[in-house]
Structure 1
Amino acid sequence: MTHQTLDFGPIHLQREDREPAPYMLSGHKAYVLATTNGALDPLGAEHLVGEMGGLWVHPVKFADGWYTVIHQDETATAMTSCEHFEGRMSDATLHFRHNQLTVARTDVMAEDAAALFGLLQVSNIGTEVWQGAISMVLRVNIRPSWFSGWERGQTLLREEQGLVTAYDSDWQGRWGLAYGSPESPNDVLIAQDGAKDTVELRYEVTIEPGATRRWEFLLTADHQHGHDAARQLWASLAGQGAQILAAKRERYAEIAWGGVQLETPDPDINHEYALAKLNLHMLWADYAPYLPGYFLAGVPEYPQLFGCDTTYSVPGATAAGFTQQTKSALQLLADRARMACGRVPHEITTNGRTFNPGNTQETPQFALAAWDYVRWSGDLAFLREMYPLCREGVMEYVGGLWDFDGDGYPWGDAMVERTGMGALKLDSACYLYAAWRVLGEMAAILERPEAEQYRSRANDWRGRFERDWWLPDQHLYADSLHSDLQPQLDGHWTQVVPVQLGIARPERAEQVLDELHRSFTNEYGLMHTRGEEARVWTLGTGLLALADVRYGRTSAAVEQLHHIALTTHNGMLGAFEELIPAGLCFMQLWSAAMYVQCVVEGFLGLDPLAHAHQLTIRQSLPPDWPSLALRNVQIGKHRLDIRATTAGCEIHHRAGQHPLHLRYGIRSTNLASYQPVGAATTPVSLETVHDGTLLCFDLRSASSVSISITGDQATLSIDTLEGGGHEQQGPN
């Protein structure tokens, strides 16, 4: 049994692991997957079975991992039964005990290099001198990634002055590693563990009572220029383990507690939000030239580039400050889609091969994600680049191949990968409608004449959707339609999609939510299929949380978020898993991203149009939250601090080259008038929307606004942040 802890700032989690739990140490060029007991246990149940663990510099694996061995009196004892696994997200320390010796090994991945450091500390806590040998054993395993199409040859190893290099005979000059320590070993032993090569660096030592010996070990790898490049990298980094560890811890603290910062009255939500940002950072990878700059969908099974996993994650990742990373991932998907006549792929292997060319809903989802990125970033150059592709994919590829009758109900597989359904899937139809809507927005910005055609098509679809899909006796929508438009209800989680997207009529949305909470949920969230499959995915549960917020069910949404975050207490502490409470990938992209989205776009209600210098805020706070604050929010070139309360909002416009047009309201609150405070200069207007009223005005950079709402009356005042005078609003 291993005692696992996570100590990261104010976050303290612990659990007793009866079975070894997986964990990840991440860098942007490489990662390590291992287990908390310190043994080289197999990982991976679906793809490379038992081979998904170890050091990966995708698309190549270089080693299964390493472990410490204690030699005394002709007995060798491997340190593979960790007593205490001390996780910190940035790194991990494994604590062992052997007689009078304590062994602590801290492993850390370099942030921007394919380099793994192991900082080993052996202490004599006994009363007698200890004599023997200490070894660090590396199990080499050079092999290509899943469905790479590559063959591998024989692993060849060579030792020179204590530094060991290894390469694949078929890939000499391409795949290679270097392994060693700045302190030269007494012996270097190359052997085999089954069919795999091992390299043992052995040190003869004498340790006095109360004394400690320390070593640094370094493993580097290169998948482009072979063992010579790995050796050069090793030489440039050797001896820097302590500095790299300190820098990595500082970097992770800045990601968690800096950047876009959240403060709520619920410390668990605050901590889970910080962990979600760290998960997003850890899943960001750059495996150039194969896949430069994307988010891993999940580990251990899905380090590939996925279409829907990426598109679902765009709003949350961008809102959390991962703007450039999100753009890069979308551009990679776009590059593939251009070569496939607009079809956005579902799954790209880590060496760039298309494994699954894309389900029907994937191409419309990409258009939504591209628009989400533009909304947050204001990147019109990106919009001009992506619009022709989105138009081709949605209107020509999907329209021509899967929606050939033009009714907006495309054929083909969608998010629910189950047999026996009708040919036309609920989620595909909804995402196609939503894609038409955003194409209309894109075309209008680019002053394209077809903008109105998209809106007209979407309006026609909206009128038919309720007639064709609604099942009044079930208070649900059909999961699928057959080719003759006969509905079929299987009870899949995709019932939430038309509600979350705002497609369902309000009264029917309420009925669907009632039924989902009554018969589709269990103690962990939204089940995959009512009555048949009780497993709970974070994806469906996250969409349910967003739908709950949309219809004012904020307490239920908080409950769903806590369900998602329950996964951070299982497996690797601090990691958002794919299933609730645990299962499949132990760190999953959309789990963390949708958590962020629900807080930022859900409770706080942020809806930016950065290209137009506009931000709509329609807050909907949980009843037991007196306030919610978000600092350093980036809306294009604008930087804001926002603090919402049950009775209003404070907004500080910290930076921006233009005034920011604000549209502010509390969901389901109607305003009849507003009352200015101070001397008036900025025009204010009231805008009526379907479930409330918005207060509309411009806020210049280096200014702040305070809004208070009592009943149907709003009071507001604007002040300069840095030495300026007080601005009053114009007459009502």
Structure 2
Amino acid sequence: MNRTFLTAVTTLGLAASVLAQAPARAGESAPPGNGGPELSTTSRLKDRREVDAGTRAYSIGFQDGRFYANGWHITGEMGGVWTPPLKLVDGVWFGLDGQWVPQANRFSSGWGYTRYDFPDTAGLKVQRTDFVPDGRRAAVYGLTVTNPGAARTVTLQVNAHSELMGQYPWGFSGVTPNASDNLPDHGDYDGRRLVFTDDGALPGAPVHHYAAVVGTAQTPTSGAVGSQYWGPQPGHRCTGTEPGAPADPKPSQCDDGPFGRGTGGALNYTLSLPAGGSTTVWLGVAGSDQGATEARKELAGALQDPAAQLAEKVASRQKLAQMTRLSLPGDALVQQAVEWGKQNLADLTQTATDLQIRWTNQGKQFPAPLGTVDKATWIGAGYPDYPWIFGTDAEYTAFAAVSVGQFEAVKDHLRVLRDVSDILNDRSGVVTHEVVSDGSVWFGHDSRTTNADGTTAYDFNTDETVKFPSTVALLWRWTGDDRFRDEMYDFTRRNLRYVVRNLDADHDGWPEGLGNVERSGMGQEKLDNTVYFLRGLYDLADMAKSKHDGATYAWASNLARKLQQRFDGTWWYDQAQQYADSLVDPGNQQSFQKHWIGQTPMEAELRVKGATVPGIAPYAHGNAALAGREDPCYSGEHPLNPGLFHTGCGGGANGQGERVVFGLTTSIQSIGEGNYGRLGPDQQGRYTHALAEPMFSEPATGGTPDEQPGAMPEIFPSPDQGANIDRCWTCRSMFMQAWGNYGTAWAVVHQWLGVRPDLGHHAVEVVPQVPQGQTSVEGKDIRLGGGAADVRATHSGSSYVTTVDVDRSTGARTVLVGHTLPRGSAPAVVVLDGRVVHDYTVRHTNRGTEVTVATGPGAHTLRVTAR
């Protein structure tokens, strides 16, 4: 890994309110400690976005310490400080003795915080540490000023610029109400704080009472309000229509967007600096959609010993890091990607209250709410434009989240999807697609219209409905939580019954409707819907059997078996040695447009009669399809990114392809490769590295991360889309996206380490497969049920060794310890805990030859010698 601009530094020591650091040597990983490791960069900081996030708020700025306009859902307004569903301010800025703190020259991303190192200002050394306390509707900024000389008194200036607005409505043409209806903010200085309010109603919307409060624990010497307070930034408004405006400005050229109606304020303080000493001033930005009184309470809570709250925040993130501790000596890059991916998932986990569920019909209406969800917790899709609740994103993200022990967030997300969907869709079983944190539903309603050409236009995606039962089953198997299974069971039955009853007009078994590829020209029956429907049926059957629901078990398992038998003959597109993207009715005519979903038959894993079946495609077709996608027609190459394109060359409805590498597409290819035992550096390794490189160091950005160090973005530098840092203020992808972690975390924990819990049936399987070119992989404290497991797998010559330690508190009664040998191999000698055994099981799967021995919880060592 290129460490020219990206280094890991040691942990933070928290002493009173002063944050100190001691850098490690470049290229070293920091040892664990109070703060956890950091990743730092010094390159093009004004072009890189960053986020600090807690469960009730987040702050999005830029790595030079400033706050530029960016994002496109509400043009230019997706940054700043938010407490879902409310934006509070565009930004905050600091000055000392009449000089604004200049742009940072070093940015560091830590576990639960970020830090900025600035050039000396007014003869003082300046550092800023930002964090968002969990449970607080507030962000906190700690300015540490170090005085290298004699004792002195300085003036601290603080500017803040408000922008009180909801996460919905958006600014797209035709949306009603519209972001252009944003009401002006009112500012006030109350002698201690800046208080911003926005009271009123958008056209056709209920009255709101928005408020933001900005201040410190100290009393200012003076304060003022006015629209001119933008700190060192000029307050330039980018609209795309102003005279002399650049066609595609960078974010750093834009301080506000066309919908900005905020105001500003200034606070001035006197600081007494000891000789050779440091002082940290903690500034809080807090708010509420319930008025100024509640906002003041939030600020007071955030300013109660901020240093202690920062220490608590860091400790909580360190606790997350202690689950699924990996040692991958042959692939340190992927090990680091999983480690930081845990933090990405935590950064995206949010909570909001009082969601008013409204069907906006893609912005065409804003009716009275159909119902209320009192409290919602979810894993957001991505920052800055997708921080709210999605169906399909969470269903992919769940695989990554369970593998690193973050069970609760996924459970809560599934509950929200169920609750919103039942309110919105009158308990039909359709899973909604996209829900803003105020309850506004953009897409995902159980309604359809017939187009002029006789085709059907859907207001929901079939894939989210057919994936939901599998996500519930995933949580049930990893946790053994029968109560959660029972809580979700009725909804999962309704999911698949709906599909069979309403989305199979030609009664051929293949579901109709929209899938994850949001492109025109596809047939009525989509490949991804089919693959996940088949998987969902098997998973529903498994849960039904455990609940002694014989009717549902028989229905789901029989239909799944019939569809599986017909799958390959219907969907394999022999001419291209790939799977068809869709089927066109009447007659199930194959359509092959080279979309990424062609790899889902290899990516999906089935659970059939208690056995894990990696991949639906038979080996010959799956192997050919995976190898084919490694071609430059389908996958990128360095110096951009070697991941999987959305649509291969010459594909799509327009025949031009879409050579854009997404984290999700690359994850699908990664997991498909793993299911077929293709773990080599030019196979799965190519795609896991394609996912990891943008987090740390990629050729397209000169050996620096895509944007925030340690954050996996949505889209990587691609032939048809350049790096985010080169793109304009409103045309960037997400700089942090959740679902791409599926392709790294699940690959390592589930495929390399072979952890396959079935705790709903009180069993755990551990069947590792060491990637080609590596000799060992290890994971400790892999959370399973109420306990954890340690796994180590090694391979040398014909010897394959698996060492496990499975807690009894996991709930497992049976542990299958095994190893995966290369395809065509067979075991010669099997030794468990020092004794030769003969009652082992051999299964030939798409991964290879799986050799397992049944035992119980505890510590065990299995050695398989292949012949």
TM-score, length-normalised on structure 1?
0.90
**Is the 8 Å Cα contact of residues 89 and 574 (structure 1) preserved in structure 2?**
no
1:407 Cα deviation after fit: 1.6
Work out the CA distance in 1 between the residues paired with 2:421 and 2:841.
43
Work out the CA distance in 2 between the residues paired with 1:551 and 1:219.
51
1:239 Cα deviation after fit: 5.0
Amino acid at match of 2:582: S
**Is the 8 Å Cα contact of residues 173 and 228 (structure 1) preserved in structure 2?**
no
Tell me the SS of whatever aligns to 2:774: coil
Residues 1:654 and 1:379: Cα distance change in structure 2 (over 3 Å): closer
Work out the CA distance in 1 between the residues paired with 2:515 and 2:10.
39
> 511, 522, 530: which one pairs with 2:636?
522
1:199 Cα deviation after fit: 1.9
- 1:594-613 pair list within 5 angstroms: 594-613=743-762
1:570 matched to which residue of 2?
706
> 138, 141, 144: which one pairs with 1:118?
141
1:447 matched to which residue of 2?
548
1:512 aligns with 2:542: no
**Is the 8 Å Cα contact of residues 347 and 356 (structure 1) preserved in structure 2?**
yes
Work out the CA distance in 1 between the residues paired with 2:665 and 2:585.
26
Work out the CA distance in 1 between the residues paired with 2:274 and 2:493.
73
Please, which moves more after superposition, 275-284 or 690-699? Answer: 690-699
Work out the CA distance in 2 between the residues paired with 1:5 and 1:118.
23
1:198 Cα deviation after fit: 1.3
1:590 Cα deviation after fit: 0.5
- 1:56-95 pair list within 5 angstroms: 56-72=82-98, 77-79=99-101, 81-95=103-117
1:274 Cα deviation after fit: 0.9
Residues 1:487 and 1:245: Cα distance change in structure 2 (over 3 Å): same
Please, which moves more after superposition, 617-626 or 660-669? Answer: 660-669
> 47, 50, 54: which one pairs with 1:23?
50
1:711 matched to which residue of 2?
866
- 1:475-494 pair list within 5 angstroms: 475-484=577-586, 485-494=588-597
1:725 matched to which residue of 2?
none
1:651 Cα deviation after fit: 1.0
> 129, 133, 156: which one pairs with 1:134?
156
Q: Which whole-Å deviations, capped at 9, do the CAs of 1:174-211 have from their partners, x for residues lacking one?
A: 53232222221111111113642212111356768856
> 329, 332, 335: which one pairs with 2:416?
332
**Is the 8 Å Cα contact of residues 684 and 695 (structure 1) preserved in structure 2?**
no
Work out the CA distance in 2 between the residues paired with 1:579 and 1:330.
25
1:439 Cα deviation after fit: 1.8
Work out the CA distance in 2 between the residues paired with 1:370 and 1:677.
35
- 1:252-267 pair list within 5 angstroms: 252-256=317-321, 258-265=322-329, 266-267=331-332
Amino acid at match of 1:389: F
Work out the CA distance in 2 between the residues paired with 1:207 and 1:624.
57
* Runs of 5+ consecutive residues of structure 2 not aligned to the other structure: 12-28, 30-36, 171-175, 202-206, 229-234, 236-260, 356-374, 445-459, 605-614, 650-656, 696-704, 718-722, 725-732
**Is the 8 Å Cα contact of residues 353 and 376 (structure 2) preserved in structure 1?**
yes
1:42 aligns with 2:69: yes
Work out the CA distance in 2 between the residues paired with 1:634 and 1:570.
31
Residues 1:549 and 1:678: Cα distance change in structure 2 (over 3 Å): closer
- 1:617-656 pair list within 5 angstroms: 617-646=766-795, 647-656=800-809
1:365 aligns with 2:521: no
**Is the 8 Å Cα contact of residues 62 and 140 (structure 1) preserved in structure 2?**
yes
TM-score, length-normalised on structure 2?
0.76
2:22 matched to which residue of 1?
none
> 266, 269, 293: which one pairs with 1:228?
293
Aligned residues: 699
Work out the CA distance in 2 between the residues paired with 1:679 and 1:401.
57
**Is the 8 Å Cα contact of residues 181 and 216 (structure 1) preserved in structure 2?**
yes
Q: Which whole-Å deviations, capped at 9, do the CAs of 1:701-730 have from their partners, x for residues lacking one?
A: xx3111111125xxxxxxxxxxxxxxxxxx
Work out the CA distance in 1 between the residues paired with 2:188 and 2:42.
42
Work out the CA distance in 2 between the residues paired with 1:676 and 1:510.
32
**Is the 8 Å Cα contact of residues 21 and 572 (structure 1) preserved in structure 2?**
yes
Work out the CA distance in 2 between the residues paired with 1:41 and 1:683.
67
1:348 matched to which residue of 2?
435
1:616 matched to which residue of 2?
765
1:694 aligns with 2:843: no
> 537, 540, 559: which one pairs with 1:436?
537
**Is the 8 Å Cα contact of residues 688 and 694 (structure 1) preserved in structure 2?**
yes
Amino acid at match of 1:574: G
1:8 Cα deviation after fit: 6.1
* Runs of 5+ consecutive residues of structure 1 not aligned to the other structure: 713-732
1:409 Cα deviation after fit: 2.1
> 415, 418, 427: which one pairs with 2:516?
415
1:329 Cα deviation after fit: 0.5
1:144 Cα deviation after fit: 1.0
Residues 1:439 and 1:186: Cα distance change in structure 2 (over 3 Å): same
1:664 matched to which residue of 2?
818
1:557 aligns with 2:684: yes
Tell me the SS of whatever aligns to 2:196: strand
Please, which moves more after superposition, 432-441 or 29-38? Answer: 432-441
Query: How high is the sequence identity, in percent, across the aligned residues?
Result: 24
2:487 matched to which residue of 1?
385
Amino acid at match of 2:864: I
Q: Which whole-Å deviations, capped at 9, do the CAs of 1:598-639 have from their partners, x for residues lacking one?
A: 111121222211111112222221123221111112222342
**Is the 8 Å Cα contact of residues 280 and 593 (structure 1) preserved in structure 2?**
no
1:401 Cα deviation after fit: 2.5
Work out the CA distance in 1 between the residues paired with 2:5 and 2:294.
39
Work out the CA distance in 1 between the residues paired with 2:347 and 2:765.
31
Work out the CA distance in 2 between the residues paired with 1:488 and 1:217.
58
Tell me the SS of whatever aligns to 1:184: coil
1:55 matched to which residue of 2?
81
Residues 1:350 and 1:677: Cα distance change in structure 2 (over 3 Å): closer
Q: Which whole-Å deviations, capped at 9, do the CAs of 1:55-88 have from their partners, x for residues lacking one?
A: 111111111120013454xxxx433522222332
Amino acid at match of 2:802: C
Amino acid at match of 1:108: F
Work out the CA distance in 1 between the residues paired with 2:302 and 2:41.
33
Residues 1:679 and 1:409: Cα distance change in structure 2 (over 3 Å): closer
Please, which moves more after superposition, 226-235 or 411-420? Answer: 226-235
Amino acid at match of 1:349: V
**Is the 8 Å Cα contact of residues 29 and 285 (structure 1) preserved in structure 2?**
yes
1:374 aligns with 2:396: no
Tell me the SS of whatever aligns to 2:489: helix
Tell me the SS of whatever aligns to 1:196: coil
**Is the 8 Å Cα contact of residues 52 and 59 (structure 2) preserved in structure 1?**
yes
Work out the CA distance in 2 between the residues paired with 1:655 and 1:289.
40
1:309 matched to which residue of 2?
393
CA RMSD of aligned residues (A): 2.7
Please, which moves more after superposition, 524-533 or 236-245? Answer: 236-245
Q: Which one has a larger percent strand, Structure 1 or Structure 2?
A: 1
> 160, 172, 196: which one pairs with 1:166?
196
Residues 1:101 and 1:493: Cα distance change in structure 2 (over 3 Å): same
1:323 Cα deviation after fit: 0.8
Q: Which whole-Å deviations, capped at 9, do the CAs of 1:357-403 have from their partners, x for residues lacking one?
A: 0312110011111111111111122222322212212122x223221
**Is the 8 Å Cα contact of residues 216 and 239 (structure 1) preserved in structure 2?**
no
**Is the 8 Å Cα contact of residues 5 and 573 (structure 1) preserved in structure 2?**
no
Work out the CA distance in 2 between the residues paired with 1:352 and 1:17.
37
Work out the CA distance in 2 between the residues paired with 1:645 and 1:490.
41
Work out the CA distance in 2 between the residues paired with 1:99 and 1:238.
27
Amino acid at match of 1:573: P
**Is the 8 Å Cα contact of residues 830 and 862 (structure 2) preserved in structure 1?**
no
Tell me the SS of whatever aligns to 1:16: coil
Tell me the SS of whatever aligns to 2:550: coil
Q: Which whole-Å deviations, capped at 9, do the CAs of 1:551-610 have from their partners, x for residues lacking one?
A: 111122122111101121210111111112454110101012442111111212222111
- 1:200-279 pair list within 5 angstroms: 200-204=266-270, 212-224=278-290, 226-256=291-321, 258-265=322-329, 266-279=331-344
Work out the CA distance in 2 between the residues paired with 1:254 and 1:677.
32
